[in-house]
Amino acid sequence: MSKTVGRLLAESLIAHDVDKIWMVPGESFLGLTDALTEAPEVQLVVCRHEGGAGFMAVADGRLQGGRAGVLLVSRGPGLSNAMVALHTAFHDATPLVVLCGQVERKDFGRLALQEQNYSKFLSDVTKDVIEVNEPEQASEAIARAFHLAESGTAGPVAVILPEDIFDEPAEVPMAKPRPRVFGGAREEDLDRLAAMLAAAERPLIWAGGALANASMETLAELRQLAELWVLPVSPTHRRPQLFDSTHPNYGGYMGIRVPKDLVTEMKKADLLVALGERITDSVSQSYSFPTAPDPQLPLAQVWPDANEIGRVFNVTLGIAAEPAAVIRALLKRGAPANAAKRQGWVAGLNAIHNRLMAPDWESMPDGVNFAAVCVEIGKHLAPDAVVSSDAGNFSSFIHRYIGFRPGQNFLSSVVGAMGSGVPMAVAASLRCPGRQAVAFCGDGGALMTGNEIATAMQYGGTPIIIISDNKRYGTIGMHHEVRYPNRPYENAVKLTNPDFADWGRVFGAEGISIRSEAEVEAGIARAFAVKDRPVVVHVHTSAEQMSAWRRRGAVRIHG
C-alpha cells in the first residue's frame, strides 16, 4: 500500500523530534491521528478544551529550549478556542506549530461547516499561515513551519490541512528538518557596546525574553558579566528566573507597575541595555522608561531578529544576535579598568529592591493576605521548580515575595491572558516528571481552564494549584477604583465560587483549604508533601488587599 499524506506527516513530525502533541480530537484531522496511532514515539495528550491545550503547547515550547510546542486542533470552533494561546505565543515570542484541520478541498469557498479563511483569520497572531492543498506540499509545510516558528523572533506558525488530504497517496520524499540559522553581531558593534558600557557611570541591564530558553551556562555567564563589569541586572516581565534575586547585582524586577521608588532610581541610569528584551509597554511602564519613540537615555538593544530592533524605539545601538553570544563576547573583552566606580550605583539599586521586597505584610480582616502564602511557598520551591502564573493582581505577590533564581522556570502569558496558570503547570508536570510544578491562579482564571486538572489525572501529572479566591475579578476592580474613585463597581466584578478544595477532590486531587494565616504554614507544607496526585489549595484571600502594592481605597503602599 502506498504511503498516505497522514503517514508522511507523522514521519515528518517524528523527524522534527516531536514527542508530544497537545490536542482536542476533531473529525477534520482523523487521517492524521490514525497515522499517529502507529507512531509510538509521539504521545497524543488529549485535553479538555482547545484553550487549555494551546496553553500547554505554549508552555511546552518554553520548556524545550527553543523547540516548538505542537498543538493539534480542529477547524472553526476548535481553532477559535485556541486563539488565546496563539495570541500569547505571538506576543511572547514563543515557538509554536499549530496543525489545524480544514473542510474538504471540493467545498472551499462554499461556507461549508466550520469553514474559515485561515490566512485572514490568523494574520495578526501568527508568523505565517501555510495552507496545504496538494499532497506534495505536506512534508515541506511541516519543515517550513518549524523553521519559521523557531527562527529569528520565535512565534506561532499555523499549518492548515484539509480533511480529505490525509488519505491521499504521497509519492514524495519526506522533507528534512531545516537547520536553525542564528544572526551574529558585527565586531564593530560589539566594540561599541563595550565602549558604551565602559563609559557609563550608571548602566542598567534588562534581561528579557530572548534569554527565556537560555542554558544554565549562559545564565552563569550573565552573572559573571554582572560581577566582572559591575552591572545591575533586572529580569523583565514574566522572566524573574533569569537572574538570582538574592545576588548583590540584582537590580529589581522590571514587570508591570514597578514600585515608584525603584523606577525613580532606575531613571537615573545613563545607559540602558535591553539584552534580549523587546521592550513592550508592560516593561517600559507604558512607554515612559524608556520613552517612545525617542528614549530619554542611550538605549542599546540586543535581539535575534533585526526586524524587531528599532520597530518602536529609536535605539542608539542595535545588535541582531543571540544575547548569549553577546554576553560571551563582552566577557572575552575583560572588564574596563574603571568598573569599580559603579559599585555604589549597583548597591543603591539593590538596597531599594531589598527594602521593597522585605517579607512584611499586615493581616487583613476580610481574608488571608496572599503575601503570607507566597512567602511560605517560597520556602518549599526546589532549585529546579517550574512555576506558572495566571493573570491577575495575585501575581504581584509572587514577584514581590518569592525570590527566583536560574534553574527554575517561570511560565505565564506575557499578554496577561487569563487561563494560562493551570494548563501550563499541567504541561510542565508532564514534560518534566519529578520536578515541582506549581500553578498560581485567581478564582476567575481557575474556572476558565481549571478543568485541565482532568488531563493531569489522566496522564499522571502532579501539579500543585494555588487558587487565590477573593470572590471577584480583582484586577478589574482595582482599575475601576483607580479610574473612577468613589463609584460603586462590585456588581461588575463579583463572583460566586465553589469550594475549590472540594472541586479538586472531585477530580481525584488532594484538596486543601486555607481560611486564615494561622493555617498557611501547615496547609502549604501538606500541599508540597503530596507526590502522587495533583493538589488544589483553596486560599480564601482578602479583597481589601488588592495587590502586593495597593489596598482598597487607592492606597498605594511601599513606594
Res. 355 pLDDT band, cuts 50 70 90? very high
Where, residue-wise, is CATH 3.40.50.970 in the chain?
5-162, 370-556
How many other CB atoms are found less than 10 A from the CB of residue 414? Answer: 24
- Mean of all residue pLDDT scores within the chain: 95
pLDDT higher than threshold 60 for residue 121:
yes
pTM: 0.95
Task: Note the pLDDT tens digit of each residue in 255-264.
Answer: 988 899 999 9
The count of residues in the chain is: 559
Res. 182 pLDDT band, cuts 50 70 90? confident
| Geometric angle at alpha carbon 410, from 407 and 412, rounded to 5° | 165
pLDDT higher than threshold 70 for residue 301:
yes
Average pLDDT, integer, range 196-209? 97
Q: Which residues pair with 537 in a beta bridge?
A: 466, 512
Where, residue-wise, is CATH 3.40.50.1220 in the chain?
187-356
CB of 363 within 8 A of CB of 517? yes
Task: Note the pLDDT tens digit of each residue in 506-519.
Answer: 999 999 999 999 99
CB burial of residue 377 (10 Å; 0-12, 13-18, 19+):
buried
- Write down the architecture of domain 5-162 according to CATH: 3-Layer(aba) Sandwich (3.40)
The CATH H-level (homologous superfamily) assignment of domain 187-356 is TPP-binding domain (3.40.50.1220)
pLDDT higher than threshold 60 for residue 556:
no
3-state secondary structure of 498: coil
Largest CA distance in the chain: 74
State the residue for C-alpha cell 525574553: 209
Cis omega (within 30 of 0) on the bond before 295? no
Q: What is the DSSP string of 404-415?
A: --BTBEEEE-TT
The fold of 370-556 is Rossmann fold (3.40.50)
| Structure-block grid coordinates of residue 198 | 565602559
CB of 221 within 8 A of CB of 327? yes
Query: What whole-number distance in Å separates Cα of residue 514 and Cα of residue 527?
Result: 11
Res. 558 pLDDT band, cuts 50 70 90? very low
CB burial of residue 163 (10 Å; 0-12, 13-18, 19+):
buried
| Geometric angle at alpha carbon 548, from 551 and 210, rounded to 5° | 140
Task: Note the pLDDT tens digit of each residue in 24-48.
Answer: 999 999 999 999 999 999 999 999 9
Average pLDDT, integer, range 306-316? 95
